[in-house]
Structure 1
Amino acid sequence: MRARHRRFAFIALGIASVALACAFVLDAFRANVMFFVSPSQIVSHEAARTQRFRLGGLVERGSLVRDRDGRAVRFVVTDARASVEVTYAGALPDLFREGSGVVAQGTLGADGRFHADEVLAKHDENYTPPQLERALREVRATADTSPGARR
């Protein structure tokens, strides 16, 4: 009987170890998941204010303002339906331009600004994240059908 109890204890310990390892892996996945959000979703309060997420859209022309130190910047990200001001302290990517696509990672502050801790610019003409590509297509379609659009 003692051998049976010992075997049962080893099996139970093995199952508990596997369950604990799975819990750690799932927690790590959950901590690293970051959702993509458009400015329209932020304005309509679809985005959670407490979580980190990715904000994507176009950098509005004429919105880029650099602080005196040259490291802190403010700019506006738009999807043609809504706009969100972004603050960022750091070096911008070389391909960062007004009117170009951008993805910023960070959090939404109580002040309504998006506080980015990383800014990514479109770097390859052949690849764009699917969510950003959809948002850019919508922006272009809206711009083409607006009353002031050139034909």
Structure 2
Amino acid sequence: MADFSNPGARRAARLLAQNYGVPLARTVTALLDREGLLARAGARINAAFPVWVRRRELGVELDVTRLVSALLVSLASEASGDPEGVGQELADLYVAPELERDERVQALLDRLGGATMLLSCGAAEDLAARLLAAMGSHVPQQREGAA
């Protein structure tokens, strides 16, 4: 069901209801919301590649689009210089046995700049605080006197 506490979902439901009726509006809004198309703007964590944190129905979503985009642009840059070589490398990666595929993927990621992010202490604290806030009551609390 749609999260009607989400202002975007409420607005979408109102607009759809005006033209198509309430039952259809609720169904369509729930579908769009479930697919993340009405997601609230995430809390931005500033880093070399910013991360957005969003509360979702089943947990917390981390949006690392900027990192993935940078990796894809690096791959495209390599492909523009050697389209057949990069194409063959990707084809070989696709058909490789699992262990070899993992090694090839890691080598490719390392060559493209890596898939890890280094956060400053402040950004890491901000990320931890936003993750805990997004999880809300789902985060287990330590009992008094437990060690």
What is the TM-score with the length of structure 2 in the denominator?
0.25
Instruction: Find the structure with the greater CA-based Rg.
Output: 1
- Whichever structure has more helix as a proportion of its residues is 2
TM-score by length of 1: 0.24
* Structure in which a larger fraction of residues adopt strand: 1
